A and B are shown apart, each in its own frame.
Chain A
Amino acid sequence: MATIDFEGTQVPFEDGDTIASALYRHGVRTFNRSLKYHRRRGLYCGTGDCPNCMVSVDGEPGARSCVTEARDGQVVERGTGWPSPDRDLIGITDKLHWAMPVGFYYKAFVKPRFAWETAERIIRRATGIGRLPLDATPAVKRARSAHTDVLVIGAGPAGLEAARAAAAAGADVIVAEEREVGWTFPPGRELDALRRLADQVRALPNVELREGHTAIGVYEGPTVPLVAEDALVEVEAGRVIVATGAVEAHGVFPGNDLPGVWLGRGAALMAARHGLGIGDRIVVAAETEEGLMHAATLRAAGSQVILLAPTALAERALAGVQVLRDARVLEATGSKHVTGVIVETPEGRKRIVCHALVLSLGWAPRDALLRMGEDLPVEGVGDVVAPVGDPPLGDGGYVCLCEDVGVHELEIAWAEGWTSSEILKRYTTATMGPCQGALCGLHLAAFAAARTDQVAVKGRRTTARPPVRGPRLEDLAGGVHEVIERRTSLHDRHVALGARMDRSGAWMRPGTYGDVAEEIRAVRERVGTMDVGTLGKFLVAGRDAQTLLDRVFPTRLHDLAPGRARYLIALDEGGYVMDDGLICALRDGRYYVTSTSGGADRMEAGLRNWADRWDLHVHLVNQTAELGAINVAGPGARELLGRLSDDDLSRAAIPYPGHAEIMVAGVACRAIAVGFVGELSYELHHPRSRGPELWDALLGAGADLGVAPHGLDALDVLRLEKGHFFLAQDTLPDDHPAKLGLGWAVDMDKPWFVGKASLERMAEIPLERRLVGLRFDGEPQRGMPLEAAGQIVGRVTSCARSEALGAAIGLGWLRARNGGWPTTLRAGATTATVVDRPFYDPEGVRLRG
């Protein structure tokens, strides 16, 4: 026997049951307590449009039980009410309605200040529909794209006809249907005809009918994302046809939200599809043809039916149905459930005792997707574009069921001055719940339109926005759930050596191979290798290459001879340092430029922009991926390379700073003499594919020299000992060169370069902040403030204990005080002294070796 676990009880269900029908058969009438006032709510629309039937299924809240198939073993809970929806103590809030009018939380609990924090906690616990399963593991969803000429949303009669016509005209068509074809239809001739039509459409070669695909929005393109069970499908369509139909109009009158008040289709589906009677004596208020059909269905299911209908419709009512002509519902009465209806008839008011009230008062097109596509090739067919009259809006009752906003609340808000539909929506939150205005959007607009003469602006429908159905975050994250890693060709080597691989921006880089102190020692005393293949690398060629570089960078270039290199900084138009690197002059007027690893993409985009704006003839090749780079550094660097190369490695052949093309272990390299770590260094730029063999050769040939690879942790200390900054760690976004002590890297004699005018302007302003070197007498921490005379005058941006110097050193920024620069500072409990940089080998003897 198939059962669902409903709040601890095993509830049996029949074939074809939804969770709602199974629970209803079991006797459940209160499916929910409303959001704010905890009013009882029962089944209403039966078609998945309203919020009343929402339950948690298997821990996941927000399932509309009226359209969710019952399955054996499902665990179903109602989400609201304490201790239960049936006996809800928080229901007292409904009696305290007067103390909590609309928007009260904007005005209450202001003083004392702690009152709001307490109140907020209580309010949050008391409201809401269900609990999020925060410890659930999200499913990994994929995303896929689809391209089509025509996308039809909705596989009802109108949608399928439109698909057939488009396919006949030669278009490729995708039809997206939220659930299964015909799921809102009760068994009968119409459903059979629809299924036959669906089969015909499915058989067409240029049509795809996808059930279980929910369109959640219409975006520019038009692009429509469809949420399916296993993937998010992003459809790019030539045009979109919206055929989502209409839901029956929501009736607004006092008592309209009582359990036992139904929309026509909901009541008819219960009877015709599930064989469930909703009451022995039912009042049906019909203003539509379909309403008559629902009355007939309910009558055929064995209920006594009293029909309220306008004269024209009343003529066509079925025999055996009592009719009250031109009668109008004024109020539904009852406390936990409907027990009667008060109607206005031409003969006066009447009270009718009944067990249920069924409303077929008109239509509310499901037109959100259509309205989103206003300026796009999006059109509607079928009931979604059928003309509708005024929505049935009485002088009492709940307009927005999702958010508990009644006519009374709207009147209070309007009187307070929130006098347009858009602002009324935001203040009262009407239309902002799970149904997103599907039921109440027309009512909100009508309410405002009736009270203003600026109807077009203040009385219009509020803007339709995606999503129209609440997707899970895992659905929206389809296909976007992995971090994108860039790797050098030495990645596997680092892993094999036991390196701790770190995320460094977009790249994976070795942090350390196990012993940072030993890695530092290897560089200072012997020879070390480091994978710096992540650096940005650019070949700049073409007749305007030097012109471009000369104008973009502040570096002096005219006297940079082939074979020479120079430190390069990149300034933005404000004159602030945004990147640094090297520039090497090659033969034939070409240049090779390097940047920081993180700045490569910006460097390329920047150079291409200037080349485009100035219409310069250059060829820019981004070689960041194409070339690897290994830095061989230490007193033994030349000796090591000498074992693997027959080329001249002396200072004469490779000047500092400079470069040369050499062969190392049979690999063609551009060896650049650099000084970042402060030892004799050769940065070997080589073809990426030859990286592993070059690395192996270096480590192999240098074994007896005590060669060791080092990672980012060691680099941090090595460069710090030389006083070199790390961009964005030691620099601030408004650091111009003077603040960093980089005036020497800027050639102010050049007629023009990017940022020059800004530097000229700033030269007039006395420097009030600079980057300084620090020596500590204790153990500092990065990020610590620097104080002088009890005032904060700076911050430590980098620090480390230096074995070579026997002290803790660092960098930080420092403010001028009283026109001067403090030299002795406090960093927490330690003393920090401002000292010149570099700390280690100040004359640079070792790196020039």
Chain B
Amino acid sequence: MALNIPCPFCGTRPYTEFTFGGELRPTESPDLDADFARVYHRANVAGQQQERWFHAHGCRRWLTLTRDTVTNRVG
């Protein structure tokens, strides 16, 4: 599989320079039940997904991007 990730600071690099951080999710929830869903349930869409990636081999900062999970195209 080949996937290139556009780091806003360093430029486009192969995904092997990054650590994947999963779907973008809120950091908090209003109550305990909502928190369970926030932590464990994933939207897991077939289509555009907002995701977190960490540029481990470069700037070592996080970025959020949109990737189409069906075509694997970014942006």
Residues on A with C-beta less than 8 A from B73 are: 375
Given A220-B4, A223-B2, A609-B54 in contact, is the A757-B60 Cβ separation under 8 Å?
no
Given A573-B39, A574-B39 in contact, is the A608-B4 Cβ separation under 8 Å?
no
**B60, A761: Cβ atoms under 8 Å?**
no
Taking CB as reference atom, which chain B residue is nearest A609?
Answer: B62
Residues on A with C-beta less than 8 A from B35 are: 757-758, 761
Contact with A along B27-70 (1 / 0, CB 8 A): 11100100110111000000000001010100011100000000
**B56, A757: Cβ atoms under 8 Å?**
no
Residues on B with C-beta less than 8 A from A608 are: 54, 60-62
**B32, A761: Cβ atoms under 8 Å?**
yes
A209 to B: closest C-beta gap in Å:
26
Among B40, B54, B71, point to the contact of A574 (Cβ < 8 A): B40
- State whether the Cβ of B8 lies closer than 8 Å to any Cβ in chain A: no
Taking CB as reference atom, which chain B residue is nearest A611?
Answer: B62
Could you tell me the distance between the alpha carbons of A536 and B4 in the complex, rounded to whole angstroms?
29
**B19, A605: Cβ atoms under 8 Å?**
yes
Contact with B along A220-244 (1 / 0, CB 8 A): 1101000000000000000000000
Could you tell me the distance between the alpha carbons of A604 and B60 in the complex, rounded to whole angstroms?
9
**A605, B4: Cβ atoms under 8 Å?**
no
With contacts A574-B40, A605-B19, A609-B52 known, what are 10 further pairs, Cβ within 8 A?
A: A220-B2, A220-B4, A223-B2, A375-B71, A574-B39, A608-B61, A610-B27, A612-B62, A757-B36, A761-B36
Taking CB as reference atom, which chain B residue is nearest A551?
Answer: B27
- State whether the Cβ of A518 lies closer than 8 Å to any Cβ in chain B: no
- State whether the Cβ of A601 lies closer than 8 Å to any Cβ in chain B: yes
Among B3, B27, B72, point to the contact of A613 (Cβ < 8 A): B27
**A601, B32: Cβ atoms under 8 Å?**
no
Residues on B with C-beta less than 8 A from A573 are: 38-39
Could you tell me the distance between the alpha carbons of A726 and B13 in the complex, rounded to whole angstroms?
36
**B28, A221: Cβ atoms under 8 Å?**
no
- State whether the Cβ of A752 lies closer than 8 Å to any Cβ in chain B: yes
**A219, B2: Cβ atoms under 8 Å?**
yes
Could you tell me the distance between the alpha carbons of A574 and B37 in the complex, rounded to whole angstroms?
11
B40 to A: closest C-beta gap in Å:
7
Taking CB as reference atom, which chain A residue is nearest B28?
Answer: A752
Interface SS, A side: helix
Could you tell me the distance between the alpha carbons of A761 and B33 in the complex, rounded to whole angstroms?
9
Interface residues of A in 571-628 (CB under 8 A from B): 573-574, 601, 604-605, 608-610, 612-614, 622
Residues on A with C-beta less than 8 A from B2 are: 219-221, 223
Could you tell me the distance between the alpha carbons of A444 and B70 in the complex, rounded to whole angstroms?
26
Interface residues of A in 231-269 (CB under 8 A from B): none
A590 to B: closest C-beta gap in Å:
20
Taking CB as reference atom, which chain A residue is nearest B31?
Answer: A757
21 A-B residue pairings within 8 Å (CB atoms): A220-B2, A220-B4, A221-B4, A223-B2, A223-B14, A573-B39, A601-B56, A604-B60, A605-B62, A608-B54, A608-B61, A609-B21, A610-B27, A612-B61, A612-B62, A757-B29, A757-B32, A757-B36, A757-B39, A761-B35, A761-B36
A801 to B: closest C-beta gap in Å:
41
Among A612, A613, A758, point to the contact of B39 (Cβ < 8 A): A758
Could you tell me the distance between the alpha carbons of A573 and B35 in the complex, rounded to whole angstroms?
9
- State whether the Cβ of A760 lies closer than 8 Å to any Cβ in chain B: yes
**B3, A220: Cβ atoms under 8 Å?**
yes
Taking CB as reference atom, which chain B residue is nearest A761?
Answer: B32
Residues on A with C-beta less than 8 A from B71 are: 375
Q: What is the interface residue range for chain B against chain A?
A: 20 to 34
A547 to B: closest C-beta gap in Å:
14
Taking CB as reference atom, which chain A residue is nearest B62?
Answer: A612
Could you tell me the distance between the alpha carbons of A757 and B56 in the complex, rounded to whole angstroms?
29
Could you tell me the distance between the alpha carbons of A573 and B41 in the complex, rounded to whole angstroms?
12
**B28, A605: Cβ atoms under 8 Å?**
no
Residues on A with C-beta less than 8 A from B28 are: 752
Residues on B with C-beta less than 8 A from A219 are: 2
Among B27, B54, B72, point to the contact of A605 (Cβ < 8 A): B54
Could you tell me the distance between the alpha carbons of A662 and B73 in the complex, rounded to whole angstroms?
55
Residues on B with C-beta less than 8 A from A375 are: 71, 73
Taking CB as reference atom, which chain B residue is nearest A757?
Answer: B35
Residues on A with C-beta less than 8 A from B60 are: 604-605, 608, 622
Q: Which 8 A-B pairs have the closest CB atoms?
A: A219-B2, A757-B35, A220-B2, A573-B39, A612-B62, A605-B54, A613-B27, A609-B62
B2 to A: closest C-beta gap in Å:
4
Could you tell me the distance between the alpha carbons of A220 and B14 in the complex, rounded to whole angstroms?
9
A237 to B: closest C-beta gap in Å:
13
Residues on A with C-beta less than 8 A from B19 are: 605
Could you tell me the distance between the alpha carbons of A758 and B73 in the complex, rounded to whole angstroms?
35
Residues on B with C-beta less than 8 A from A613 are: 27
Could you tell me the distance between the alpha carbons of A758 and B36 in the complex, rounded to whole angstroms?
7
Contact with A along B2-19 (1 / 0, CB 8 A): 111000000000100001
Taking CB as reference atom, which chain A residue is nearest B52?
Answer: A609
Taking CB as reference atom, which chain A residue is nearest B29?
Answer: A757
Taking CB as reference atom, which chain A residue is nearest B2?
Answer: A219
Could you tell me the distance between the alpha carbons of A761 and B39 in the complex, rounded to whole angstroms?
12
Could you tell me the distance between the alpha carbons of A610 and B73 in the complex, rounded to whole angstroms?
27
Could you tell me the distance between the alpha carbons of A97 and B28 in the complex, rounded to whole angstroms?
65
Scoring A574, A609, A757, A758 by chain B CB atoms within 10 A of each residue's CB, the highest score goes to: A757
Could you tell me the distance between the alpha carbons of A440 and B6 in the complex, rounded to whole angstroms?
39
Could you tell me the distance between the alpha carbons of A585 and B57 in the complex, rounded to whole angstroms?
30
A623 to B: closest C-beta gap in Å:
14
Could you tell me the distance between the alpha carbons of A608 and B3 in the complex, rounded to whole angstroms?
23
Could you tell me the distance between the alpha carbons of A421 and B35 in the complex, rounded to whole angstroms?
46
Taking CB as reference atom, which chain A residue is nearest B21?
Answer: A609
Residues on A with C-beta less than 8 A from B14 are: 223
Scoring B21, B29, B39, B72 by chain A CB atoms within 10 A of each residue's CB, the highest score goes to: B39
Could you tell me the distance between the alpha carbons of A220 and B15 in the complex, rounded to whole angstroms?
11
B37 to A: closest C-beta gap in Å:
11
Could you tell me the distance between the alpha carbons of A215 and B71 in the complex, rounded to whole angstroms?
23
Could you tell me the distance between the alpha carbons of A223 and B29 in the complex, rounded to whole angstroms?
42
Could you tell me the distance between the alpha carbons of A601 and B55 in the complex, rounded to whole angstroms?
12
Could you tell me the distance between the alpha carbons of A612 and B59 in the complex, rounded to whole angstroms?
14
Residues on A with C-beta less than 8 A from B52 are: 609
Residues on B with C-beta less than 8 A from A605 are: 19, 21, 54, 56, 60, 62
B53 to A: closest C-beta gap in Å:
10
Taking CB as reference atom, which chain B residue is nearest A220?
Answer: B2
Residues on B with C-beta less than 8 A from A601 are: 56
B9 to A: closest C-beta gap in Å:
12
Could you tell me the distance between the alpha carbons of A601 and B60 in the complex, rounded to whole angstroms?
10
B49 to A: closest C-beta gap in Å:
17
Interface residues of A in 550-583 (CB under 8 A from B): 573-574
A478 to B: closest C-beta gap in Å:
15
Scoring B19, B40, B62, B72 by chain A CB atoms within 10 A of each residue's CB, the highest score goes to: B62
Residues on B with C-beta less than 8 A from A221 are: 2, 4
Residues on A with C-beta less than 8 A from B32 are: 757, 760-761
Could you tell me the distance between the alpha carbons of A605 and B52 in the complex, rounded to whole angstroms?
11
A246 to B: closest C-beta gap in Å:
27
Interface residues of A in 184-223 (CB under 8 A from B): 219-221, 223
Taking CB as reference atom, which chain B residue is nearest A620?
Answer: B60
Could you tell me the distance between the alpha carbons of A614 and B27 in the complex, rounded to whole angstroms?
9
Could you tell me the distance between the alpha carbons of A221 and B13 in the complex, rounded to whole angstroms?
9
Could you tell me the distance between the alpha carbons of A761 and B72 in the complex, rounded to whole angstroms?
37
Could you tell me the distance between the alpha carbons of A612 and B60 in the complex, rounded to whole angstroms?
12
Could you tell me the distance between the alpha carbons of A604 and B4 in the complex, rounded to whole angstroms?
23
B12 to A: closest C-beta gap in Å:
9
Could you tell me the distance between the alpha carbons of A76 and B28 in the complex, rounded to whole angstroms?
68
Could you tell me the distance between the alpha carbons of A219 and B62 in the complex, rounded to whole angstroms?
25
Taking CB as reference atom, which chain B residue is nearest A612?
Answer: B62
Taking CB as reference atom, which chain A residue is nearest B73?
Answer: A375
A6 to B: closest C-beta gap in Å:
42
A390 to B: closest C-beta gap in Å:
31
A112 to B: closest C-beta gap in Å:
41
